[in-house]
């Protein structure tokens, strides 16, 4: 990305891939399959990567060299914005749609995966992990599937343009040049709408905020922090944003929300418990001097916002009103 014209724009290696599988044994999917897919992917990735077969990664002598923790569960870091016991992972899983369903033999299982930074170099390993996960079994019925196609989107936010990069006959990937995600030229912006496609979980004291407690400041500063952290962890360096000034400006923004709460319950196999993971969906219109926040909001479409983005939560599209 060319940052010479505007040094406030972050640079981030980023790519979206679409995986398509043909179901070979019926797969039962929950309302939001992101957690199910992530769990299957993680188990398969660890089986492929782990050389010591230790029960936990923490004390493994190969911790710094193994691709599994680097991709799936990065170790704690002290970041200048906040300390992470579990830093954001360099990937997101974006399920096709909301709604529990059962995919029958011959039907298509489809989802997108966003990779960033280090994870981009590990695409062959990631693809093999998905192939193994789908063959081993997905969901409560251990449904299975065979990888049929992988698409790369040269223009990240234009989903109508795709390049096939997987040959199902020889099981090989085709290397393609990765195009950077570029923020449009900055111009005065005073009116825009965020349309949340999957539940947004912005939290206070560990609890997701309902629509009536969400404010423009909470949203905008979450976007700024998210993009700044991801850019520094997986890109070149954090953008030189003045957080104090941005927080002050955010309090002047007006909003009009058409949001509602959407429940989602997920079962954690690791913790052996059921967790409530609902959030808000719908439209959130902002007005005021939004120009300083536009880079963060633009890149937030790629990175999502809030908690559990790795499952695909907090995804939105952005509309700027002229």
Note whether 222 and 281 are same-domain residues. Answer: yes
Cα–Cα distance for residue pair 24/47, rounded to 1 Å: 22
255 pLDDT more than 60: yes
Kindly report, residue by residue over 15-49, the tens digit of the pLDDT. 999 999 999 999 999 999 999 999 999 999 999 99
287: Cα within 13 Å, side-chain hemisphere: 6
Q: Give the strand order in the sheet containing 14-25.
A: 91-95, 108-116, 14-25, 144-152, 163-164
Whether 184 is covered by a domain: the verdict is: no
Residue 7: the pLDDT is 42
Least confident of 59-68, 100-109, 163-172, 188-197: 59-68
Note whether 169 and 243 are same-domain residues. Answer: no
269 pLDDT more than 80: no
Kindly report, residue by residue over 149-161, the tens digit of the pLDDT. 999 999 888 888 8
Note whether 245 and 315 are same-domain residues. Answer: yes
Residue 306: name the closest of 269, 273, 259 by CA. 259
Whether 143 is covered by a domain: the verdict is: yes
Percentage of the chain exceeding pLDDT 90: 66
Kindly report, residue by residue over 59-85, the tens digit of the pLDDT. 888 888 899 999 998 877 665 555 556
255-266: b or e for each residue (b if 16 or more CB lie within 10 Å)? bebebeebebeb
6 pLDDT more than 50: no
Q: Which of 107, 138, 173 is the last residue of a domain?
A: 173
**Which three-class secondary structure state does DSSP give residue 159?**
coil
Q: Which of 145, 173, 201 is the last residue of a domain?
A: 173
Task: Write down the mean pLDDT value for the chain.
Answer: 89
In this prediction the pTM is 0.91
* φ/ψ (deg, to 5) at 33: -75, 0
Whether 25 is covered by a domain: the verdict is: yes
Written as one string, the DSSP assignment of 36-103 is: HHHHHHHHHHHHHH-SS--S-STT-TTTTT-HHHHHTSPPPEE-SS-EESSPPPSEEEEES-SS-EEE
Residue 267: the pLDDT is 64
Note whether 233 and 265 are same-domain residues. Answer: yes
265 pLDDT more than 90: no
207 pLDDT more than 60: yes
Residue 64: the pLDDT is 82
Note whether 144 and 99 are same-domain residues. Answer: yes
Kindly report, residue by residue over 91-116, the tens digit of the pLDDT. 999 999 999 999 999 999 999 999 99
- Kindly report the CATH number assigned to the domain that includes residue 198: 3.30.70.1900
Domain residues for the domain of 142 are: 14-173
Q: How many CB atoms lie within 10 A of CB 147?
A: 20
């Amino acid at each position: 990305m060319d940052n010479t014209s505007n040094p406030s724009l972050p640079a981030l290696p980023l790519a979206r891939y679409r995986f398509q599988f043909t179901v070979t044994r019926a797969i039962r999917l929950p309302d939001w399959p992101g957690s199910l897919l992530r769990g299957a992917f993680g188990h398969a990735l660890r089986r492929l990567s782990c050389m010591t077969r230790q029960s936990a990664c923490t004390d493994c002598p190969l911790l710094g060299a193994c691709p599994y923790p680097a991709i799936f569960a990065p170790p704690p870091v002290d970041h200048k914005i906040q300390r992470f016991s579990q830093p954001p992972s360099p990937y997101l899983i974006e399920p096709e749609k909301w709604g529990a369903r059962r995919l029958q033999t011959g039907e298509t299982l489809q989802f997108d995966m966003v990779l960033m930074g280090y994870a981009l170099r590990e695409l062959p390993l990631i693809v093999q992990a998905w192939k193994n996960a789908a063959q081993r079994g997905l969901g409560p019925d251990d449904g299975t599937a065979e990888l049929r196609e992988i698409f790369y989107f040269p223009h990240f936010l234009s989903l109508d343009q795709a390049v096939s990069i997987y040959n199902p006959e020889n099981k090989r990937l085709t290397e393609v040049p990765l195009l950077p995600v570029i923020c449009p030229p900055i111009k005065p912006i005073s009116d825009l709408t965020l349309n949340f496609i999957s539940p947004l979980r912005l939290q206070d004291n560990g609890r997701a905020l309902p629509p009536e407690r969400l404010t423009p400041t909470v949203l905008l500063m979450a976007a700024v922090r998210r993009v700044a952290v991801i850019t520094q962890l997986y890109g070149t360096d954090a953008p030189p944003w003045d957080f104090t000034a941005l927080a002050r400006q955010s309090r002047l923004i007006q909003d009009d929300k058409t949001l509602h709460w959407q429940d989602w319950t997920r079962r954690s196999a690791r913790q052996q418990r059921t967790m409530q993971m609902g959030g808000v969906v719908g439209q959130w219109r902002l007005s005021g001097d939004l120009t300083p926040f536009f880079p963060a909001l633009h890149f937030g479409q790629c990175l999502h916002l809030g908690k559990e983005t790795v499952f695909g939560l907090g995804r939105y599209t952005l509309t700027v009103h002229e």
